[in-house]
Amino acid sequence: MSDYIIITDSSCDMAAEMAEELELHVLPLSFIMDGKTYRNYLDGRDMSSKEFYDKEREGFMATTNAVNVEDASQAIEDVLKQGKDVLVLAFSSGLSSTCSAFQIAAQELAEHYPERKICVVDTLCASLGQGMFVYQAAKLRQQGKTLEEVRDWAEANKLHQCHWFTVDDLFFLKKGGRVSAATAVVGTMLQIKPVLHVDDEGHLINVAKARGRKASLTALVDKVGELAEDPASQTMFISNSDCLEDAQFVADEIKKRYGTKEIVINSIGPVIGAHTGPGCVALFFTGKHR
């Protein structure tokens, strides 16, 4: 039995069954919609992803909250009290203060539990890219790697976690300050779809434009050929905000072009979905660089 537990947060957008199978502790972030606060549990017990995107289509907007120090501290201490060490793999510091909250909590708890190890890694990842990274780390833990070995692997490999995605509705990116109002209006009229990625600082970057939905989805597939390391043998992840057919199209094209055998598809949860809106498809794989 391993002497440490991996903690992450629900921005990882991993399926609840996978998180349970990997023995992860997942701290839920929260979001506010129509004046009510909900927890973004992986199993959707407060609000399912489907219900969330239906509400967004009806015109309801959501705001999100990062993990606070108190919740981070409680999650870590619950593990320490079991006599186990902790490895935290946190949501990108370029997109959220969640990692900072874990780091502060870890520093404070280290004074009270000097005999325990508490390590926090800023994954610089988001959504199911974070989920893929946590999945890889948890597999190493299951293989018997020590906390230090998995931490060192994470630090050495996080900038090889490629995040590429496109959205169907530019107005959600406008709301988050990712594109201007003029760009959103003109882009919508001309059916321009952005292709974005998460850079080496963990920030969201708009890098290209495609004319039409199919072209933007194909652009994601093209990135595998440009960047992926041995695409046929790795497990890739695809997340989507209530557009499963589009996610399946990307998966099928990758399998056809590159011979990839294993692709995990899951929903984008409400915390990430508050910023993407419905119709986002995101592709994650291991590459030479981001």
DSSP string covering 260-277:
--EEEEEEPPHHHHHHH-
One domain, residues 126 and 141: yes
DSSP assignment of 35-90, as one string? TEEEE--TT-SSS-HHHHHHHHHTT--EEEEPPPHHHHHHHHHHHHTTT-EEEEEE
Can you tell me the mean pLDDT for 129-156? 98
Answer yes or no: do 17 and 145 share one domain: yes
Q: Which three-class secondary structure state does DSSP give residue 252?
A: helix
Span 204-212, average pLDDT: 86
Q: For the domain that residue 233 is a member of, what is the CATH number?
A: 3.30.1180.10
Task: Judge whether residue 1 has pLDDT over 60.
Answer: no
Domain of residue 186, residue span = 160-286
Quick: pLDDT tens for 5-42. Answer: 999 999 999 999 999 999 999 999 999 999 999 999 99
User: Are residues 280 and 166 part of one domain?
Assistant: yes
Read off the pLDDT band of 55 (50, 70, 90): very high
Nearest to 56 by CA among 269, 284, 263, 251: 269
- 67: its two tokens: 């993990």
As a whole number, the mean pLDDT across the chain is: 94
Task: Give the closest residue to 121 by CA, choosing from 23, 6, 199, 205.
Answer: 6
Statement: residue 193 has pLDDT above 90: no
Q: For residue 129, what pLDDT is reported?
A: 98
Domain check: are 170 and 125 in the same one?
Answer: no
DSSP state of 177: T
Q: How far is the C-alpha of 5 from the C-alpha of 16, rounded, in Å? A: 17
Backbone φ and ψ of 97, nearest 5°: -90, 10
Query: What's the length of the chain?
Result: 290
Per residue in 251-266, pLDDT (tens digit) is 999 999 999 999 999 9
Same structural domain for residues 149 and 167?
Answer: no
Q: Are residues 209 and 277 in the same domain?
A: yes
Reply yes or no on whether the pLDDT at 222 is more than 80: yes
Asked which of 110, 139, 158 is the last residue of a domain, the reply is 158
Strand-pairing partners, residue 32, are: 37, 63
Can you point out the beta strands (E) in the chain? 4-9, 25-27, 30-33, 36-39, 62-65, 85-90, 118-122, 161-166, 192-198, 204-211, 235-240, 262-267, 281-286
* Structural domain ending residue among the three candidates 125, 158, 191: 158
Number of domains, the chain = 2
The verdict on 36 and 63 lying in the same domain is: yes
Residues 8 and 152 in one domain: yes
CATH of residue 60's domain is: 3.40.50.10170
If asked whether residues 56 and 137 sit together in one domain, one would say yes
pLDDT of residue 113: 97
> Looking at residue 17, what is its pLDDT?
98
Confidence of residue 194 (pLDDT cuts 50, 70, 90): confident
* pLDDT, average across residues 59-64: 94
Same-domain pairing of 71 and 104:
yes
Q: Are residues 165 and 231 in the same domain?
A: yes
If asked whether residues 143 and 177 sit together in one domain, one would say no
Structure tokens at 218: 């194909």
d(CA 197, CA 273): 16
Q: Name residues whose C-beta falls within 8 Å of residue 176's C-beta, 6 or more positions apart in sequence.
A: 275
Mean pLDDT of 47-52: 97
Q: What is the pLDDT of residue 173?
A: 67
